[in-house]
Structure 1
Amino acid sequence: MSEETVNNNPNKKRVRKKRKNFLANAKKYAKKGQMGRGTRMSEELYQYFVGILEVMKQGSEDNEERASLVNNVLERTKGEELNIVGNQLGCRVVEILLPYSSAEDLERFIEILSPELRRLCSDNFSSHVIETMLRVSCGRATEHLQMNETEEEPKKKKKKTESKYSEEHIKNCYEFTLKICKYALNNLEDFVWDSYANHILRSALKCLSGITLLPGEKPKVNLFRETVQTDKGIPPHQTEMQYKNVPDEFKDLVREFASRLSAWPQFKDLPYQNLTSALLQVLLYSIKNVDKSLTKELLKKLLNESFAPEDWVTSGADDEKQEEKVDDKEEVKTNGVTTGSLPPVFENQSAVRLLEAALFVAKKKMYTQIYARCFINRLGQLSTVPMLNFTVQRLIDNCQIKEELEPMFDELSSKFDAILASGNTGVLVALAKACLRIKAKQIQFINSLESVLIAKEEHQRYFAVLCLRLLPADRVQLDNLEKEYFINVHGSVILQCILEYQRPAKAVTSLLELTPEELLVIFTDAKGCHVADAFCKSQCVGVKSRDKLVWKLKGFYQKLALSQYGSRAFEQIYGAASNEQRIKIMLEISDKSSLLNGSQYGRLLANKLGVDTFKLSQKKWEQAHLKPDNKCL
């Protein structure tokens, strides 16, 4: 669930799965005379839903138009609700429309589907509608509890959100939420092992604890093509979650879920199966917002019984016998992962993902115990394994104190070459960010990275380029850097972190020693342009260094402004320039403003900076765009 989608190895070609076109498949079924999978639907109604899907796919930004469409379609479902939600196409349409439904329509579905919960929760289609009804009902039941910050007042007072629904509807939604969650709790033994009902258990836990998005999870994009505003998902290297306010009665149910599940005799085996591991991950994220002591008990139970039980270590005598039998093969390998010296948790991918969730929710003492029992003296080995390097990243991401980061760094610093060779460069990103966050081992990180990338002293001036490439100097054509080359996304992030370190001199000097043409290649790249952000915004990069960068690019601002990503870098460099430098830049780009206006990105930049005004009257432009504090209006 916290699995990353970034391909760390640039040499390995990523094969994308061809995305299934649901609408095209629905039309294909209709041509064959099959009205979708699941319950049978009349041909007329099936074709109607196909047409509705086509309309929704085109998008609708007008709220009134959308409300009218939702009301009309849900009105058409009257009398056939059970039949429609059991059909593949009907289920999909209803699932999309329910979040926008009126109070009357939602309550109608609640009333009709409630008596059939046992059958519907285990159905491969209608279970999705039950999940959606639960999420929508919980959202409406708790909407009035959420707080909004008012920016007008200096203290930013928080006010409760006013609900647009009647008190009666809110009460009905509240009761339905409790009914579904209690029903799931009462049928816990059956639902845990059911592929579809298990997802309802997860949704119930998320709703009861106020979770909107799990770490690494992206919001679902509705076919109405709504733009994602606030919920953009939680990036992999972020360690904070936002929870909504929920009533105490909801929190009590989460406690009951945790207590009942942890009391199972087979609890220790649950982390080792995909279905149950995913449920436990959601449970950990949920209980974190509800009960700290119960979170600690759960983590302790998982650590002692599942992740690294005391009896997993073989005795010394057994080790000697094994050495005699195996000779050269010191360790046993299972599924490509060395398990002879690793705790059982690392033998199974499902358990590994649960371990990552445990690291996310653990407090300092519990975090230390997990680190000591599972990771210490094994980080180098884990970092080079494709499946396990993500767990090392999560371990480092959640490290908050200097005393724990230092031994982690000391263990990994001698393994940088092996990590680079394996392509698991995300570990280096996590380490670079941790050094920045905790303000420790920054110089040592730069030196360790430099020792792996640079073998000869004459190559030191190319440190920034080699960092961007994440390749040693002998594998890079250093005399051909004026032509476009591949920039590793992790290398770009690492260089940005180094520029924000307390002593970024090596990276700054390396960038400033590059020719303007070589800098242009970096700043016009999708990943390289962010280096300009860090260079211009870092508090540890001196003003003189920024001035040198501004003057160094003189004569190349026109090319920079014409590029999609170069225009981003241009804005950052322009923002860091002094008034005198800004005027020089404006003189350069206004000289050939026709070229600027001929490019999509150049035109946007020209309008933003007021190039036309500058050409007509430099004095008026200075009055409008320059300030004593050197900030652009």
Structure 2
Amino acid sequence: MSQDNVSNTNDNHERDDHKRRPRKKRKNFLANAKKYAKKGQMGRGTKIPEELYQYFVGILDAMKQGIEDKDERTALVNNVLERTKGEEQNVIGNQLGCRVVELLLPFASPEDLERYMEVLSPDLRRLCSDNFTSHVVETLLRAACERATEHLQTGEDNSSDSDEEEAPKKKKAKLEPKPEKKYDEDHIKKCYEFTIKISKYALNNLEDFVWDQYANHILRSVLKCLSGITLLPGEKPKVNIFKDSIDDGKGIPPHTGKMVYKTVPDEFKQIVKEFVHRLTSWPQFKDLPYQNITSGLVQVLLYAIKNVDKNLTKELLRQLLDESFAPEGWVNNGTDDKKEVKDGEGVAVDTSNLPPVFESEPAVRMLEAALFVSKKKTYTQIYARCFINRLGQLACMPMLNYTVQRLIDNCQVKEEFEPMFDELSDRMSALLACGNTGVLVALAKACLRLKAKQAQYLNSLEAALDCSSAEHQKYFPVLCLRLLPRERVDLAALDKDYFIHVHGSVILQAVLDFQRPAKAVSGLLELTGDQLLIIMCDAKGCHVADAFCKGQFVGVKARDKLIWRLKGYYQKLALSQYGSRALEQVFQVASLEQKIKIMTELSDKSNLLNSTQYGRLIASKLEVDTFKLSQKKWEETWKKKEVVNK
């Protein structure tokens, strides 16, 4: 997880006040639509009758409430799209009408979807560049592509991580039957042809569409559809206003190590290759990373070609590296006009030795995408040309520390990670001071993933937190959770509520999974029950219990000691939202004898458990009522459960 960088060091460390930035109030589309109607304005864009406008407002209202019954949903979709018959162009040119149609098209009947394909096809040039209708074209493309390729999906994990040589073997070993076709052959064929048509139209108008703020996003959608991209790193799924119980609303975290692609036909992949050939032949290709709109497009192109052609991916990355990121013989433009950049310790950072890519945020974001899609050899070239001997200064800079995180996240070779670690290990104090603690998280995860430099990481972090001495080592877990050096923490008040840093929690979880987590384990076991309660009842701290209980190198005796240390606090844990999570983890690793002691404690005041919804859930999951009635019956039931789970 990344953290907002704060330039003022003193402000950055005032974390104990539990202060949060006020969130911006999200614009409520439906409320605004109603407000416009009261003023007599029927939305922006083309004009639609007031009766139709009010009808769409009512439809959005009904959708917002949630329509979980499939028959009701189908009826609503059919009725609304039928109402737009003959007025499709006018409706989608209106802000409200566009929104309604955009939401309903993925659920449209074959007849309605085909009708919209036919109506929109003759006027694509204008529609693709319009601020409202372009969204409908995108949705129509995605819906058509989804239906055209749905029958090709086998349910296999089509991961971008797997090597080319191993992929065929896996497919042969686990060949799952193709799903039944939801639509007839004729509709699938029309969807396929429409996808090809839009894609080739976009390709033929590439020179104009690249610079258009609306058509540019159609190009991106075309590339995603043709290459089988489900979600980009850091992207969240576009949640439809209909309540969908299947969609968990989770996206792909930006520090993910792989992407999952859908299976797509070869003809789709061929068009993606044409996009690459066309764009890379432009004289101005080297400048594309340096503008927001074009950088975003080329980033999608990088993710798309990764699933299409391994050699073409390598060529594209090499061209970007040679012409844009760090051209041979590049010379800095001079530092006179540049703002002075200071690191976490207030020392001015010399930016004159940084390649051109680091001068532009759009280019930096593309560099991160390049790191993600590159294979080992190309990754090494990017590291050598852009990062080597510069990691310390990059990691302490507000914008560029995220790029260092992506570099570390995508490192797959132990021997390559070790010099990276050596460059950064003595900068941990500066990273803490400037708030760029995401770099510390990336280092901890890499140490764990590559099984390298774990002891050195612990020593460097202890030094940065000022708890290296024997008498202060016991404070390591608490200082790590707060990500504050010892002199900034009131060690006498550890049994009072305090702010736990999300990065500190993730780092401690990784450390507990190291091959030698003794310092973290012993430090946690030194804490009193009250101090452990504060950690485990916190939204971020409760996950430490997961790592402690599941850590493969955390000993059984240590877990037993933790269970004993929490004696008398299980009731309080059960009543807390996050404490109940931690209680479940502890309960799972407890022996039967320990489970009975925990259950005895919970059942003593079982009425208290019903005072909170989390207490009721715990009472239900652990079957507290059964335990109160008959301990023997509860033991028999629980033994059967454990046998089934094994």
TM-score after normalising by structure 2: 0.92
Question: Is structure 2 residue 320 aligned with structure 1 residue 302?
Answer: yes
2:3–2:436 Cα contact (<8 Å) kept: no
Say what the alpha-carbon RMSD is for the aligned residues: 2.1
The answer to whether residue 407 in structure 2 is matched with residue 395 in structure 1 is: yes
* Residue number among 577, 580, 583 corresponding to 1:564 in the alignment: 577
Any unmatched runs of 5+ in structure 1? none
1:311 to 288, 306, 329: 329
Change in CA separation of 1:605 and 1:36 when aligned onto 2, cut-off 3 Å = same
Secondary structure (helix, strand or coil) at the match of 2:177 reads strand
| Aligned residue in 2 for 1:14 | 21
User: Which of these residues, 495, 501, 515, is aligned with residue 488 of structure 1?
Assistant: 501
Q: Give the number of the structure with larger relative contact order, counting CA–CA contacts within 8 Å between residues 6 or more apart.
A: 2
Q: Cα distance, 1:332 vs. partner?
A: 4.8
Give the Å deviation of 1:279: 0.2
CA offset at residue 603 of structure 1? 1.0
**How much does 1:229 deviate?**
3.1
- Alignment check: 8 A CA contact 2:5 2:398 kept: no
Counterpart in 2 of 1:607? 620
CA distance in 2, matches of 1:334, 1:91: 47
Aligned partners of 1:5 and 1:248: how far apart in 2?
Answer: 41
Residue equivalent to 1:362 = 374
Higher alpha-carbon deviation: 160-169 or 25-34: 25-34
Amino acid at match of 1:229: D
Q: Deviations over 1:383-421 (max 9, x none)?
A: 111111110000000000111110000000000001111
Q: What SS does the aligned partner of 1:551 have?
A: helix
Match of 2:605 in 1: 592
| Corresponding residue to 1:131 among 120, 130, 138 | 138
Task: Measure the CA separation in 2 of the matches of 1:335 and 1:575.
Answer: 50
Given the alignment, which residue of 185, 189, 205 partners 2:207?
189
Check 1:238–1:10 CA distance in 2 against 1; reply closer, same or farther (3 A cut): farther
* Contact 2:152–2:178 (8 Å) recurs in 1: yes
**Size of the alignment, in residue pairs?**
615
Residue type at the aligned position of 1:114 = S
The Cα shift of 1:460 comes to 1.3
- Separation of aligned partners in 2, 1:231 and 1:23: 21
Partner of 1:353: 365
* Partner of residue 109 from structure 1, selected from 112, 116, 120: 116
SS of the residue 2:492 aligns to: coil
SS of 1:303's equivalent? helix
Match of 2:311 in 1: 293
* Corresponding residue of 1:619: 632
**What is the aligned partner in structure 2 of residue 83 from structure 1?**
90
The answer to whether structure 1 residue 373 and structure 2 residue 413 are counterparts is no
Alignment check: 8 A CA contact 2:257 2:372 kept? yes
Structure 1 CA distance for aligned equivalents of residues 350 and 246 of structure 2: 42
Distance apart, 1:34 and its partner CA:
1.6
Amino acid aligned to 2:409: D
Q: How does 1:88-103 map to 2 (within 5 A)?
A: 88-103=95-110
1:142 paired residue number: 149
Q: Which amino acid aligns with 1:267?
A: F
TM-score, normalised relative to structure 1: 0.94
Once residues 310 and 228 of structure 1 are traced to their aligned partners in structure 2, the CA distance between those partners, rounded to angstroms, is 50
CA apart distance, 1:470: 0.4
- Verify: 1:474 aligned to 2:487, yes or no: yes
Superposed counterparts of 1:115-264, under 5 Å? 115-148=122-155, 157-227=175-245, 229=247, 232-264=250-282
Given that residues 383 and 427 in structure 1 are in contact (C-alpha distance below 8 angstroms), is that contact kept between their aligned partners in structure 2? yes
| Identity value in percent | 71
Unaligned residue ranges in structure 2 (runs of 5+): 7-11, 158-172, 343-348
CA displacement at 1:167 relative to structure 2 = 0.4
Task: Please point out which of 36, 39, 54 is paired with 1:32.
Answer: 39
Question: How much has 1:313 moved relative to structure 2?
Answer: 3.4
- 1:158 deviates by 1.1
Contact 1:577 1:630 in 2 (8 A): no
Q: 1:72 aligns with which of 79, 85, 88?
A: 79
Tell me how far 1:4 sits from its aligned partner: 5.2
**Residue identity opposite 1:61 in structure 2:** E
Aligned equivalents of 2:599, 2:394: Cα separation in 1: 52
Match of 1:420 among 432, 437, 456: 432
Q: Which moved more, 1:197-206 or 1:51-60?
A: 51-60
Q: Residue type of the partner of 1:413?
A: S
2: CA distance, partners of 1:513 / 1:630 = 34
Is residue 356 of structure 2 the alignment partner of residue 344 of structure 1? Answer: yes
Structure 1 CA distance for aligned equivalents of residues 141 and 52 of structure 2: 26
CA distance in 1, matches of 2:368, 2:312: 18
User: In structure 1, what is the Cα distance between the partners aligned to 2:355 and 2:261?
Assistant: 33
